[in-house]
Amino acid sequence: MSTALVTGATSGIGLAFARTLARRGHDIVLVARDRARLDLVAAELRGHRVEVEVIAADLADRSQLAVVEDRLRARPVEILVNNAGFGVPQRFSTGDLDVEQQMLDVLVTTVMRLTHAALPGMIARGSGAVLNVSSVAGWITGGTYSASKAWVTVFSESLSIELAGTGVHVTAVCPGFTHTEFHQRASMEMDALPEWMWLDTQEVVDRALADVRKGRPVSVAGAQYKALSLAAQYLPRPLVRAIGARRPGGQARAGR
């Protein structure tokens, strides 16, 4: 039976990935900070008659991140879902730099290091999948968060080329606004956002798993975000910057 490791697995898109993969018969390794919530999710997933392992780790802490890296090297997994992340509603010039650094540590460093730890086992086996949860925010201007997500998307696209022919697929999952705890945790006011702009977590996960099976380097759920993503990539950059300046909800305004 194959094993999937999911970070940020106790809520939102990460939880939807864990539930979906467990329903499909994959053993699951859950990674998140909150041990109590991890145990609750683990108990639920074991109802699908799969093995569930729990790793409580703050991925912004390099020593705790190393525990997850060691797990991936010691017992390679078939699927890695790099989902953990958070946003901060502050201006970079006047905000807390330590918080900005923590966000980079989770959104960039963690993705890079866990992917590097997982790939050798996948390549040796000749099969595997890495799904890096990015965001459509990576195509607009939105401070450190958007810059981090741009890195995740380009990193994933680059690996999809590097690993061609190995049987290993890497996909950047780029959701738009999605109904999760993400914005509430970041204290972002989102009431003004129209309902048509919201996605469901299951919609994002189903699209992502279908796209990684097809070897697609980028996955965008929802017709509205496919159109918006295409526009953001080809509109003149001054216009994209103007759109970014008007987005609702603080620095991390789009994502899970």
**Catalytic residue positions?**
145
Backbone angles phi, psi at 25, to 5 degrees: 95, 10
Backbone angles phi, psi at 79, to 5 degrees: -135, 130
Q: Which residue, chain included where needed, has tokens 């090297």?
A: 73
89-to-80, 135, 186 alpha-carbon distances in Å? 29, 16, 6
Backbone angles phi, psi at 55, to 5 degrees: -125, 110
Give the count of alpha carbons within 13 A of 154, CB side only. 10
For the stretch 226-234, contacts whose Cβ atoms lie closer than 8 Å and that sit 24 or more positions apart, written own/partner, are 228/136, 228/176, 229/136, 229/139, 229/174, 232/136, 232/139, 232/140, 233/139
Backbone angles phi, psi at 213, to 5 degrees: -65, -30
Q: Which residue, chain included where needed, has tokens 């809520």?
A: 11
- First-to-last C-alpha distance (Å) of the chain: 29
CB atoms within 10 A of CB 65: 22
